[in-house]
Amino acid sequence: MSERREPSAPASLFGLVQPYAGDPILSLFEAFGADPRPDKINLGIGVYTDDQGRIPVLQSVLSAYERIGFGPQPYLPMEGHEGYRSAVRGLVFGHDHPAVEDDRVATIQTIGGTGALSVAADFLARHCPDRMVYVSDPGWDNHHGLFQRAGLRTTSYPYWSEERHAIAFERMKETLAQANDGSIVVIQPVCHNPTGADLSLEQEEELTAVLLQKRHLVVFDMAYQGFGVGVSEDAGFVRRFAAKSQCLIANSFSKNFSLYGQRCGGLSIVCGDTDEARRTLGQLKLVVRRSYSSPPATGGHLVAEILNAPVLREQWEAEVAGMRRRMQAMRSQLADAIEGLHDGFDTQFLREQRGMFSYTGLSAERVRQTRERDGVYLVENGRICVAGLTDGNITAVAKCLARLHSA
């Protein structure tokens, strides 16, 4: 007797698996790699490169490698390297922060900033599953996906006004004021991705009042500490807010240590008291154990070594300042070059925005054109990574942007 099969049944177990549409940033990076044109320019992924277009190896990192040597590398504990965790707290909260002084911060070492957000999302899905998550629009595309994957619902708050080329602050505030009390709000406190536009101090204060009044739970995503104004200044919003309220802070060392592949990040949860922090840390360890057991060791040792040794720490801060200055210089050079080519192009936004990114306002269609015709890679939402600009490619990029704006 022949076996009957439903006509629609797939021949293979995974026959119905859907193709992956790709990630707007990482898949673009793959496409860049596969592009055979020698003069292609990568302004897509947020990776800092030097004027030669190379990812730098920081001197402080080289010294830390020498110090840690090549001994055996046992598993780190679930929560990560002890010295790393205290260094994360020092860098994020600074000296004498009341939450740290009171011993009510639960910190773990994570697999980059994405890993920190992912653990945070799993933790929140378990402990406050009914809260809506608000993320910035425009924002980092992965925010929605990370929280949804954990089982939370997401929506967005407006962050940018296309007409005014500025933060849509009133609309942002209004949306969060109308959200249900106790919603989860994801905020990038510095070097906003993709717009490069950060809240002023007055806006921060106004927003804080709304967040506190609504008892929203803020998840700070701080991936670019040191690329805005300074290592300490860039943590200002987080520090001020954490002194007033419980919150979560995901931070990354990918960019500011140029340690992309080592996957170094941290997650800190500011709790109500020491005992709550101890129990929270326990639950974070459980999330880690269930997903990857423990974080990678080498990056953890390197970052801990640098942040805990005053000489290396000073050297590292100087290196971060160097990267920051190069990005600022590239911004003004690009703005100057575009103005030289195209009178009517208002480049003020390029000069004012901070960090790795600038938001050009180019449509997805224009972005596609630049990629196909000129080999200049931008993220589809019109974001450029200014850290990918060099003396060698800046004229070509200026020409390309000026042409697109006049087209």
State the catalytic residues: 140, 221, 255
| 323 near ligand LMR (CB under 6 A) | no
The pair of three-digit structure tokens given for residue 9, joined into one six-digit string: 């049944």
Closest CA to 401 of 353, 329, 347: 347
Q: Least CB distance from residue 143 to ligand LMR, whole Å?
A: 10
| 386 near ligand LMR (CB under 6 A) | no
Q: Least CB distance from residue 248 to ligand LMR, whole Å?
A: 18
Q: Least CB distance from residue 206 to ligand LMR, whole Å?
A: 27
Closer residue to ligand LMR, CB minimum distance, 196 or 300: 196
| 46 near ligand LMR (CB under 6 A) | yes
Closer residue to ligand LMR, CB minimum distance, 84 or 377: 377
State the pairing for strand pair 105-111/264-270: antiparallel
Closer residue to ligand LMR, CB minimum distance, 223 or 247: 223
Closer residue to ligand LMR, CB minimum distance, 183 or 193: 193
| 58 near ligand LMR (CB under 6 A) | no
Indicate which single residue of 25, 116, 199, 231 sits in contact with ligand LMR (rule: CB under 6 A). Answer: 25
CA angle 57/59/62 to nearest 5° reads 75
DSSP 93-146: H-TT-HHHHTT-EEEEEEEHHHHHHHHHHHHHHHH-TTPPEEEEES--THHHHH
| 140 near ligand LMR (CB under 6 A) | yes
Q: Least CB distance from residue 177 to ligand LMR, whole Å?
A: 28
| 250 near ligand LMR (CB under 6 A) | no
Compute how many other C-beta atoms are within 10 angstroms of the C-beta atom of residue 128: 14
| 256 near ligand LMR (CB under 6 A) | no
Size of the site for ligand LMR (CB under 6 A): 6
State the pairing for strand pair 247-252/217-222: parallel
| 299 near ligand LMR (CB under 6 A) | no
Distances (CA, A) of 20 to 141, 143, 313, 371, 379: 15, 18, 42, 21, 18
Closer residue to ligand LMR, CB minimum distance, 46 or 299: 46
Q: What is the footprint of ligand LMR within residues 208-227 (CB under 6 A)?
A: 223
> Shortest Cβ contact with ligand LMR: which residue?
46
DSSP 221-263: EE--TTSSS-TTGGGHHHHHHHTTS-EEEEEE-TTTTT-TTT-
Distances (CA, A) of 140 to 84, 158, 160, 218, 343: 26, 13, 13, 16, 32
The Cα–Cα gap between 291 and 122 comes to: 10
Closer residue to ligand LMR, CB minimum distance, 47 or 286: 47
| 193 near ligand LMR (CB under 6 A) | yes
| 191 near ligand LMR (CB under 6 A) | no
The contact set with ligand LMR (CB under 6 A) reads 25, 45-46, 140, 193, 223
